[in-house]
Amino acid sequence: MAIATFKIWRGNASGGKFVDYTTEVEAGMVVLDAVHRIQASQANDMAVRWNCKAGKCGSCSAEINGRPRLMCMTRLSEIPLDQPITVEPMHTFPKIKDLVTDVSWNYRVKERIKKFAPKPALADGTWRMQQADIDRVQEFRKCIECFLCQDVCHVLRDHDLHDEFIGPRFLLYNAALEMNPMDTENRLGDLKDSGGIGYCNITKCCTKVCPEEIKITDNAIIPLKERVVDEFYDPLRRLFRVFS
């Protein structure tokens, strides 16, 4: 059994501070286990959001040693224990209490995105699609909405452009709809304007933090950027559309 020190951010919307907690840790523990142990033994009033402890609910998003991660999927064996481990709430969202942030902005953004608009059903009253056509979309459907990608995105995190940029999570969501072979809606104008896809400068931070290992930048954002180029920035395509 080893001893580890955790510097956990304690506070609320009006401010806070890092508080040091020293606790025993054992083989196989994850950061969330240690936080729970501290909560149970030293800080009963510490707020932490969690649910499945299996990396599937996306609730326990936090920043561990400065890296956005799920607390339940971060093994202590991956972290050097000879120095304090910092645990902070996500920077991009308003703080509620301690490690809990208000992520409701994401739900408001999602409401603005044009919904799935299916093609008319086939003569037999059904819709059919090929697996090959839906492979791309299924990768995007792995998203657990932990919002770590939103947290790490510097456009939101450092530049606070929440009103102008929907963030990687919702570019991914748009990609899932746009690439769906059954969908008929066109979201490219929204992506260019209110979605602010041009703000993304392809740093791939969102891809690096995704716990589901979705290739957000390569498979969703860049393909969407290319579709936006097709629609708005490619002069030959625009000319072709004029004469066709």
Partner 1 sequence: MSSIDVPLRNGGFGTTQRKDNWWVEPLLVFLGFSAFIVYSTWAAMQNAHYTFGPYLSPFYSPLLMTEKPGWWPAFMPFSAAMLILWAPGGFRFTCYYYRGAYYKAFWADPPSCTVGEPRKSYWGERSFPLIMQNIHRYFLYLALVFILVLTYDAFKAMWFDGHFGIGVGTLVLIVNPVLLGCYTLGCHSLRHLVGGRADEMSKSPVRKQTYDCVSCLNRRHMMWAWFSLFWVGFTDVYVRLCSMGLITDWRIF
Enumerate binding residues for partner 1 (CB under 8 A). Answer: 9-11, 15-22, 42, 63, 65-68, 80, 83, 86, 88-89, 91, 95, 129-130, 132-133, 152, 154-155, 157-159, 161, 178-181, 183, 196, 198-205, 208-209, 217-218, 222-223, 225-227, 229-230, 233-234
Distance separating alpha carbons of residues 244 and 156, to the nearest angstrom: 40
Q: How many residues does the chain have?
A: 244
Cβ at position 206, least distance to partner 1 in Å: 9
Cβ at position 99, least distance to partner 1 in Å: 11
Is residue 101 classed as helix, strand or coil in its secondary structure?
A: strand
Q: Which is nearer to partner 1, 16 or 55 (CB)?
A: 16
Q: Which is nearer to partner 1, 11 or 55 (CB)?
A: 11
Distance separating alpha carbons of residues 100 and 150, to the nearest angstrom: 15
Distance separating alpha carbons of residues 40 and 16, to the nearest angstrom: 21
Q: Which is nearer to partner 1, 159 or 241 (CB)?
A: 159
Distance separating alpha carbons of residues 124 and 9, to the nearest angstrom: 58
Please give the helix or strand (H or E) that residue 159 lies within, else none: none
Is the Cβ–Cβ distance between 121 and 129 less than 8 Å? no
Burial bucket for residue 185 (CB in 10 Å: 0-12, 13-18, 19+):
middle
Burial bucket for residue 244 (CB in 10 Å: 0-12, 13-18, 19+):
exposed
Cβ at position 184, least distance to partner 1 in Å: 10
Cβ at position 8, least distance to partner 1 in Å: 10
Cβ at position 223, least distance to partner 1 in Å: 5
CA angle at 218 for the pair 201 and 229, rounded to the nearest 5°: 65
Cβ at position 237, least distance to partner 1 in Å: 10
Q: Which is nearer to partner 1, 52 or 233 (CB)?
A: 233
Q: Which is nearer to partner 1, 52 or 129 (CB)?
A: 129
Q: Which is nearer to partner 1, 2 or 129 (CB)?
A: 129
